[in-house]
Amino acid sequence: MNLMQGNILLLILILWPICTSIIGYILGTRSKTARDIWADAVCLSEFAVMAGLLIRAFGGGDTLYLDIDGVCGLGIHLMADGFRCVYGTVAALMWACAAVFSREYFTQYRNRNRFYMFFLMTFGATMGVFLSADLFTAFIFFEIMSFTSFVWVAHDETEEAMSAAYTYLAVAIIGGLVTLMGLFMLYDMLGTLTLSQIPSEIEKIRNTWPKPYITEYGGAITPSRLYLVGGLTAFGFAVKAGVWPMHIWLPKAHPVAPASSSALLSGILTKSGIFGIIAITCNMFAQDIPWGRTILILGAVTMFTGALLAMFSVNLKRTLACSSMSQIGFIMTGTGMYPILSEIAKEESVMAAHGTVLHMINHSLIKLVLFMAAGVIFMNIHKLDLNEIRGYGRKKPLLKICFAIGALSISGIPFTSGYVSKTLLHEAIALGKEASIISRGMGLTGLLSVIEWVFLISGGMTLSYMLKLFIAIFVEKNTDERLQEEYDSQRPYMRTESVLSIVIPAGIMLLMGLGPNMIMGRTATLCEGFWFAGSGTADQLVIHFYSWESISGALISITIGLFLYVFVIRGTYINEGRILSVFLAEHSLFIRSDNEGRNVYVNMWPKFLDLEELIYRPLLLKILPGILGFVSALISQIMDSFIVIMRRTIHRQKATRVDTGSMDDHLAVVTGRLLDRYIPKKDKTSYIPGLVMREEQGARTQRLISSSLSFGLILVSIGLIMVLIYTLAAT
Amino acid sequence: MNKDYVLIIPILFPILAGIVACFLGKMHLGQKGQRLYETVCLIVEVCLTFMCFTGNKALDIWKLTTDITISLKVDDLSRIFAGLTVIVWLLVGIYAFEYLEDDPKSNLFFGFYLITEGLIAALSFADNMITFYMFFEMMTLMSVPLVMHDGTHEAIMAGLKYLFYSIAGAFLTLFGIFMLIPYGVLGSFTAGGIMNMEALAGHDLRLMISAICMIIGLGTKAGMFPMHAWLPTAHPEAPAPASAVLSGVITKTGVLGIIRTVYFCIGSRLIAGTWVQNTWIVLSLITVIMGSMMAYREKQLKKRLAYSTVSQVSYIMFGLAVMNGTAFMGAVAHVVFHSLIKTTLFLMSGAVIHKTGHHLVSELKGTGKEMPITMWCYTIVSIALVGIPPLSGFVSKWYIATGALMSGEKPYSWIGPVALLISALLTAGYLLSISIQGFMPGADYDYEHLENKEPSAYMYIPMILMTIATIFLGIVPGGLTRIIDTIANTIF
């Protein structure tokens, strides 16, 4: 029997970072420079191989695959089709940039060896998720990834970091277990977890509906059961992606994690969650409107909540984290539109697919740049509060341009990459709305109109909070002038390798935006295979990105964004035809004057709405363990209490208390005297005290045994009574 | 008459060696001599046991009456149990050298330790209920001194509690055996059951009551509710090597007993679908949740691990109670995995106690910095016990849960897996929090006064080996699952 079939390269791609992480650790104990170079080399080599695979895929190379039987029971199945190559490459690029950037960032940190080890391990595991061909493999690597990335969040070991890390771990474990339950049920239902085999199995089940499908073992599969299984399986992935209401770990973990890990957490680890959701959606619910609707609604809520929280926050990294959450919402919207479009307007579903994939890639790169820019600020001044870092970016053109590229792109300004993906997503919603008027009732149309507006408003909010960050950091001066001078005079504020690690992804993003159909269109087409496994191939997509129709959506968003920034965040108001208090914020909720008359950003973070403190923590740490613990303690005591009661009643035994003084030690005294007389010790001391002690010890032990023996006898008698009762009953 | 007398060697050898060891203390052999003697005995025992595995050896030792015989036989199940026992025994034995280095009575510990090993080997090879019962009782008696070893008031009380719970359980079992004698329960173990169907006709209730008595009775050793209470009392008092084998191996003898009773004597067909099966499932699930919940609330490390054993062994019980091939596979695999994992966990707790004297979980802050190897082993096996892939606990959990789901529409088909997952969550809560505070003592941790408290190689090499086994068996479980699969195929 051949245990391994296919191309071994795929396994090497996963094992290479995992194995080298340990070498890196050992190297690190000798030389820190060697370890840094080693980590860079590993990431870059991995990137080179992945890029090679991607180019091969662009050139129309066949899909690589690898099956290893028996690993963890079901075996591991890997493949590298278009989407997997693209995302593997993105992941490798991000890791390479983050590794290079970490070198300077971590100069003053403790436990760096540990960080690098888990950095590389997580890399391998993440590659495993993105290369997996079945849900089982995806789950295995997903869990490894969750656990190893925990160390990143906790790295600082401060109180906040530990609290965030515990939240991260708890959320990851709970999510993982729920997904596991889903996988149990899915495997039971279909007998396979291989993605390519799921659609046909699901088809079989759907064909028998409305009569429930009966499985081999007599289980009945009704539609509700299918949704339950799908929902459970998707849960863990959604948690990792940061979908509302399981987003709690995102805004907590990012501000405390080191910059390079924040970039990866938000740029790529959340995407592994999205990967799982897409895999489930495309293969199990490819044309299922209720499923799509649920994803869509969750996506919309996530998108809006994230944007709102981002507007409220004054912590740079927390704002970026909330922004990630919001962008995940955008991606989810695309994912949700896919099954809806597949059902009501088949030929347009490709729009949703392209939009989703491109927004994933964009968001990965954008967040890489933005978080590393935040990292540059943090490693220089160790502050993240907007009021404190205000004005830091003035006179630092390189940082300013990179941040601006990211900010513009994420806000969907025309001629950036973000514009392309957001336009596609918007088009998908608009097309879905049109098609739903014809084919479905008003319910779907109404929902889609609402979603469209939420989409546009959230897009506007994205612009407004990015403006808030940009203006605060790069335009305004710090309220403390001496500090501002200090900021301005800081030279150099980052090393060459760190510059490269930020400029390269920013440059790629710029290129992508300038040639939308050439780079992004081709990339998205390459990814189609992953989506259409469940519903056949799609038509070629041609989009005129700069037609009026496409651009109008972006313009609406931009208008909303500017309006929000100027009138809500800045608090500008118009009085008797004159614009008052532009940038002088007496009337804004977001900027207030402090005691000394300086304008400061107000922390509007809604603590009281924190789902974690409000619901999850009390529920999971107090209420449930309290109740369950009480019941368990009761149950656990049943047998012991029964025995104690028996001893006190039937056996009339008093509590076992042994008084040392109360015993007669005649034997010890007598023998001691005899021994003293006939065999005296050399040092003339008496045998008696020692013997007395021994006798008392013996007596005590004996008493213990006899009292316990009686309780054994009780058990025997209970057994005998049972025999008696049975014999009586039987005769 | 089967006459493979070689079978008796791995049983008699450790017993005799143990008796000798009781009398040969440090004063006769010196510390080195004692260690050499024990090591040689343990290694020889491993070789002897594995020698017996070839072929299907069998031996009738003695005929008590016409239908009561004392006989031994080797089958796949006994290979798994005996093999596991001798390997764990060897590793824990080596670990015990350092743990008991300052103990004047260590010769007694090693003596009883070896005797118990021989008896467990014997009950793995037992070919009928009476033989099994005999060695089971002997093993109980011989393992009591291990629990009582410290000689303190608490230790003696704990030892007695262990003894009487075990004896009560054994009596329940014996009662079941007596009741079933007319239907041929004393015959040689055969996969699928040996009951005399004609004689049994019309005596269903009698069979059911005996079966549940035997399950609860043998479940005592396995720590199944309602007879689990000895575990959390006995473990903290026993020396760490003793707790390790108590939890790792001795609890599993109860599991072996139940497998022999249900699948090799009574036959699962007679029990499947009856109230006996339902009760069994309910009891095991109660234990799963209760054990992990109690562990979650427990402040003392060894007691926490003991409650964890209560919970985890009932995973096995649940897997057996579901009664299908897949769940059976998961259950027996979990016997092996849990044995390795829990042994390592107790060894870790012993290393911490030996080196730092800390008993409480709250005192373990920064342990990972002081004893990194120990803590790494602890962390890896903890993750395995939670059931995170690709480590071994995941594999067994996967089989148990999918097996449970295969039972179709019955409510436990999904309640069981849910209970397992809730328990897994609690397991993560009570085990991983120790690793986290061990490795991440906080930014204000005093790195200046950090001293290396790593135990010597005697202690960490056994832990490392078992940790590697845990990882390896998780990634490549094929060899083990194939053996279990052949057993399962003969049973169902």
Strand partners, B62: B70
Place of tokens 């239908």: B67
Question: What is the rounded average pLDDT for all residues in chain B?
Answer: 89
Mean pLDDT throughout B295-304? 91
Q: Which residues contact A184 (CB under 8 A, 6 or more apart)?
A: B398, B401, B402, B405, B417
**What whole-number distance in Å separates Cα of residue B249 and Cα of residue B308?**
15
Q: Which pLDDT band holds residue B462 (cuts at 50, 70, 90)?
A: very high
Asked if B167 lies within 8 A of A701 by C-beta distance, the reply is no
Mean pLDDT throughout B401-418? 86
What residues of chain A lie within 8 A of the CB of B163, using their CB?
712
Most confident of A66-80, A316-330, A462-476, A524-538: A316-330
Side chain identity at residue B127, one-letter code: D
Mean pLDDT throughout A17-46? 88
A598 or A9: which leads in pLDDT: A9
pLDDT of residue A541: 59
A540 or A605: which leads in pLDDT: A605
Q: Which residues contact A351 (CB under 8 A, 6 or more apart)?
A: A341, A424, A427, A428, A431, A541, A543
Q: Which pLDDT band holds residue B457 (cuts at 50, 70, 90)?
A: confident
Closest Cβ opposite residue A719 in set B171, B383, B432: B171
What tens digit of pLDDT does each residue of B95-145 get? 998 888 888 888 889 999 999 999 999 999 998 898 999 999 899 988 998
CA A386: distance to chain centroid?
A: 26
Q: Which pLDDT band holds residue A571 (cuts at 50, 70, 90)?
A: low
Mean pLDDT throughout B9-27? 86
Asked if pLDDT for residue A62 goes beyond 90, the answer is no
What tens digit of pLDDT does each residue of B349-361 get? 999 998 888 888 8
**Pick among B237, B375, B398, B400 to test the A interface (most A CBs inside 10 A):** B398
Dig out the tokens for A495 from the structure: 């090393």
pLDDT of residue A176: 92
Coil, strand or helix at A6: strand
Mean pLDDT throughout A3-7? 79
Of B183, B169, B268, the residue nearest B218 (C-alpha) = B169
Of B428, B426, B95, B453, the residue nearest B244 (C-alpha) = B95
Coil, strand or helix at A193: coil
Question: What is the rounded average pLDDT for all residues in chain A?
Answer: 82
**Looking at the complex, does the CB of residue B386 fall below 8 Å from at least one CB of chain A?**
yes
pLDDT of residue A594: 62
What residues of chain A lie within 8 A of the CB of B213, using their CB?
722
Asked if A71 lies within 8 A of B390 by C-beta distance, the reply is yes
**Looking at the complex, does the CB of residue B409 fall below 8 Å from at least one CB of chain A?**
yes
**What whole-number distance in Å separates Cα of residue A46 and Cα of residue B425?**
35
Query: Lowest mean pLDDT: which of A346-355, A559-568, A592-601, B351-360?
Result: A592-601
Asked if pLDDT for residue A223 goes beyond 80, the answer is yes
What residues of chain B lie within 8 A of the CB of A635, using their CB?
225, 286, 290
Of B376, B390, B370, the residue nearest B446 (C-alpha) = B370
Query: Lowest mean pLDDT: which of A700-714, A716-730, B286-300?
Result: A700-714
Neighbours of B171 (CB within 10 A): 20
Q: Which pLDDT band holds residue A534 (cuts at 50, 70, 90)?
A: very low
What residues of chain B lie within 8 A of the CB of A138, using their CB?
none
Domain residue extents for chain B? 5-491
Side chain identity at residue B6, one-letter code: V
What residues of chain B lie within 8 A of the CB of A69, using their CB?
478
Tell me the shortest Cα–Cα distance from A189 to chain B, in angstroms. 9
Mean pLDDT throughout A217-245? 86
Query: Lowest mean pLDDT: which of A710-724, B98-112, B234-248?
Result: A710-724
Alpha-carbon torsion (A46, A49, A52, A53), positive or negative: negative
**What whole-number distance in Å separates Cα of residue A660 and Cα of residue A657?**
10
**Looking at the complex, does the CB of residue B175 fall below 8 Å from at least one CB of chain A?**
yes
Q: Which residue of A has its CA nearest to B423?
A: A177
| Residue B172 near residue B213, CB atoms below 8 Å | yes
Tell me the shortest Cα–Cα distance from A575 to chain B, in angstroms. 53
Side chain identity at residue B421, one-letter code: L
Mean pLDDT throughout A178-189? 90
Asked if pLDDT for residue B391 goes beyond 70, the answer is yes
Tell me the shortest Cα–Cα distance from B12 to chain A, in angstroms. 30
Asked if B290 lies within 8 A of A632 by C-beta distance, the reply is yes
Share of chain A above pLDDT 70, in %: 88
What residues of chain A lie within 8 A of the CB of B474, using their CB?
72
Asked if pLDDT for residue A648 goes beyond 80, the answer is no
Asked if A144 lies within 8 A of B428 by C-beta distance, the reply is no
Of A381, A238, A386, the residue nearest A298 (C-alpha) = A238
